[in-house]
Structure 1
Amino acid sequence: MAILVFFIAHYYLSLFTQTFYLHRYAAHRMFTMNKFWEKFFFLFTYICQGSSFLSPRAYALLHRMHHAYSDTEMDPHSPHFSSNAFSMMWKTKNIYNDVLNHNYAAAERFEGDYPVWNAVESFGDKWYSRIGWGTAYVLFYINFATAWWQYLLLPIHFLMGPLHGAIVNWGGHKYGYQNFDNHDKSKNTLALDFLAFGELFQNNHHKLPMRVNFGVKWWEFDPTYVFIWSLDKVGVIKIKRKQKAAARMAA
């Protein structure tokens, strides 16, 4: 039971930080927050992602490239230029490392307007940070696992962030339905996106990239939007109202 709770908690907390902080805040700036909360969620992202921590800067630049070059050869993670999900992940990893190290010219035009905390970002990318988190996961399993097969979940813990990205980019650009003709291959994979917290509404998102709620039809439910709406109501963040209203009219 403890292993199941730990796995589900790690899966969804890592997923939440990726869609809420890295995607909707760092890459798109759909809402604002003060410096305290920006650093709080920066650190929270590092803790939740652990061994697979992704730099907000590098994530933002890759994602902005993804929108600008969606499903073309310039797209850093289109499934239509990779033979399988693992080769797409490897390609994305290599581009991510180049962007992280300021060695990818195509990303330069997308620089700026993302959260920066150099100390956490640098530490989170160090090998000893990643191995330390991985060791902590293994020790937890040693103490609480009740069957050998539970250890097969450990690789998912180690690569949680990239795996979420692979699910979204492979599934969201290959399987599902389209509400809009975006001149790319983006799809809405699930009407109730319990698997990726709204990220699998790729077709909607590519049409309306600044819309906070990734669901467009009345029956499309984006779980992350509920959190964003709640945080806006209590004053932790502030949704950019003008862009929100414009997106609603466009839908």
Structure 2
Amino acid sequence: MAFSKSKSKSKSKTYTKPGTTFSINGWDPEMAALIELPNFFEIPGWRDHDIPLPPDPDETEMEIRDLLAKQQQIRSDPSMWLVRKAEIEAEANDDAFYMRRLVSLTPSGSSGATDVLIDAMFHLGFIVVATYKKKFMRLRPSQIEPKLRPLLPVPHHPAYPSGHALQYLLIAKALSTVIHNDELGIELFRIARRVAENREWAGLHYASDTVGSEHLALALFPAVTEAYRDTFQNAAREWI
């Protein structure tokens, strides 16, 4: 039996007309997250927030003893070792994966602007914490106590305040502002605190580094919402 081949009509390609502007929705989220960053640095006072000073040598010694106890506990408990170590390694290499997964299913079906908000807080926290680390210049725990064996390579910058803690707390606060869901908000902050604690269990940070970041995130946030107004509004539309 012979089959006749139907001739398909060739469709002409449609190109964007000259003079059309690039759609804001077409931006790569990493790049879009930087658009409003300059606004933040135009707001005075962001360098000068009063956060607690790092503890004195006696208190630092107590914190190091606590880290040594954590080190002993995690290495003597196989189940804790597997869980904590996996989390610590994932959190060192990702960009808020656990939080992204939690908020990926928005009411609108789109999460692009929410991703931009997460990226924006991640970048901002990284830059701001460098300024405060330079101010306090606190040694890492393992620089003081050679018995500490950090689970990850020790970052080549000061300890106080904790960068991971600040980044994740800013993300949690930002997402909670736009999603208006108490249960999700509680879980976001639980993740942020878990990440901060994991940096302590890893031997990279003192507990007071986390406390400093908690104070800094709270102090920064009014300026954050002012500087990133469009970023917050775009993300909020996905949660209506």
Pairwise same-fold verdict (TM > 0.5) = no
Tell me the TM-score range normalised by the shorter chain. Answer: under 0.3
TM-score, normalised on structure 1? Answer: 0.23
Larger radius of gyration, structure 1 or 2?
2
